[in-house]
């Protein structure tokens, strides 16, 4: 109902509570409760203007035809699976992995229980931010350990093309350059079945400049597609260099955490050929490859 109400306000600019209730086939109180729920998600989204309700900012809906046209224009052969709302595009993709082909994009206008690494929540605004999961099937010998780092390079490139100055934090977070503002998060989840790695690459991007979301989604897929092809053709060496050149914390003092506890401190000196984090500690060089590790500036 939240999506339906927002779509009505998107189409009609301003509507009275009576008009909204009639269109939603609800009573006034139920309609007001939905408006309250929307405003709880993002304060001040729906505002009253005299006796009418209106949106405080324009919404930017995903559109299947538009996405398909844009994909075709870039010669990208992907299936598009759009949802108006879902708990998490990653959860949806994992749940339906048997029905979703290689190179399927799952995206939605409202992800209400987005998931991040370490079970964290990922919050995004309805019809404003981008939340998508892209499914790729890889052969059994594909180095999945590198996939999060490859995705980080792809998103980093994309945002640079969108004129954002951004950097990568190990292994795959994207931050605004030299700041504490995280603008994109990546959650890669894999299922191995019948000798195939089904990878679900979940990406959330904060829509910093009100970018057109259909275009943003297709540009994201183009960047990923290009990068995966580059990796298949040329390997990780050059991409590793690009990752390092864009690293937020390289040569900085960092602390390494596991399950919330600090397990090492030192200088983030490098990443290995398998994407592992390399830290120069007081007692020597240490490598960390576990996905249960997180890194903070010390």
For ligand BTN, the binding residues (CB under 6 A) are: 88-90, 114-117, 120, 122, 131-133, 173, 185-187, 202-204
CA contacts within 13 A on the Cβ side of 245: 9
Residue among 150, 227, 228, 137 at smallest CA distance from 191: 137
CB of 244 to ligand BTN, least distance (A): 21
Give the residue with the Cβ less far from ligand BTN, 45 or 91. Answer: 91
CB of 27 to ligand BTN, least distance (A): 34
Q: Judge contact between 120 and 173, C-beta under 8 A.
A: no
CB of 50 to ligand BTN, least distance (A): 37
CB of 198 to ligand BTN, least distance (A): 15
Give the residue with the Cβ less far from ligand BTN, 12 or 117. Answer: 117
Q: What Cα–Cα distance (Å) separates residue 153 from each residue in 104, 157, 217, 235?
A: 20, 6, 16, 14
Q: Distance between CA atoms of 298 and 269, rounded to whole angstroms?
A: 14
CB of 130 to ligand BTN, least distance (A): 8
Q: What Cα–Cα distance (Å) separates residue 157 from each residue in 77, 133, 214?
A: 21, 18, 18
Closest CB to ligand BTN: residue number:
185
Give the residue with the Cβ less far from ligand BTN, 5 or 254. Answer: 254
Q: Distance between CA atoms of 188 and 133, rounded to whole angstroms?
A: 9
CB of 292 to ligand BTN, least distance (A): 13
Q: Judge contact between 129 and 205, C-beta under 8 A.
A: yes
Give the residue with the Cβ less far from ligand BTN, 45 or 88. Answer: 88
Q: Distance between CA atoms of 140 and 126, rounded to whole angstroms?
A: 37
Q: Could you give the 3-state DSSP secondary structure of residue 178?
A: coil
Q: Is the peptide bond before 278 cis (omega within 30 degrees of 0)?
A: no
Q: Distance between CA atoms of 257 and 235, rounded to whole angstroms?
A: 30
Give the residue with the Cβ less far from ligand BTN, 96 or 120. Answer: 120
Identify the helix (H) or strand (E) that includes residue 22. helix 17-24
Give the residue with the Cβ less far from ligand BTN, 114 or 266. Answer: 114
CB of 48 to ligand BTN, least distance (A): 32
Give the residue with the Cβ less far from ligand BTN, 35 or 249. Answer: 249
CB of 122 to ligand BTN, least distance (A): 4
Give the residue with the Cβ less far from ligand BTN, 131 or 167. Answer: 131
Please name every residue paired with 69 in a beta bridge, in sequence order, or none if there are none: none
Q: Distance between CA atoms of 121 and 140, rounded to whole angstroms?
A: 30
């Amino acid at each position: 109902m939240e999506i339906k109400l927002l779509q009505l306000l998107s189409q009609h600019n301003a509507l009275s509570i009576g008009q909204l209730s009639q269109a939603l086939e609800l009573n006034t109180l139920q309609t007001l409760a939905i408006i309250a729920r929307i405003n709880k998600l993002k304060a001040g989204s729906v505002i009253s203007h005299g006796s009418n309700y209106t949106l405080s900012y324009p919404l930017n809906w995903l559109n299947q035809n538009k996405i398909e046209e844009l994909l075709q224009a870039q010669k990208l052969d992907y299936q598009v699976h759009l949802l108006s709302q879902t708990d998490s595009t990653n959860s949806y993709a994992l749940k339906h992995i048997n029905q979703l082909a290689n190179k399927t994009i799952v995206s939605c206008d409202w992800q209400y229980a987005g998931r991040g690494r370490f079970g964290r929540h990922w919050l995004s605004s309805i019809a404003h931010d981008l939340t998508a999961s892209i499914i790729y099937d890889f052969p059994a010998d594909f180095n999945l350990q590198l996939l999060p780092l490859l995705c980080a390079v792809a998103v980093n490139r994309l945002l640079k093309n969108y004129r954002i100055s951004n950097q990568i934090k190990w292994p795959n977070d994207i931050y605004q350059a030299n700041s504490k503002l995280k603008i994109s998060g990546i959650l890669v989840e894999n299922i191995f079945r019948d000798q195939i790695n089904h990878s679900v690459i979940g990406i959330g991007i904060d829509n910093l400049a009100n970018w057109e979301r259909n275009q943003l989604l297709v540009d994201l897929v183009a960047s990923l597609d290009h990068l995966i092809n580059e990796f298949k053709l040329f390997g990780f060496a050059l991409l590793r260099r690009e990752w390092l050149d864009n690293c937020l914390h390289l040569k900085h003092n960092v602390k390494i955490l596991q399950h919330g506890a600090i397990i090492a401190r030192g200088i983030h000196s490098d990443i290995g050929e398998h994407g592992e984090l390399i830290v120069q500690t007081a007692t020597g060089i240490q490598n960390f490859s576990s996905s249960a590790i997180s890194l903070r500036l010390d």
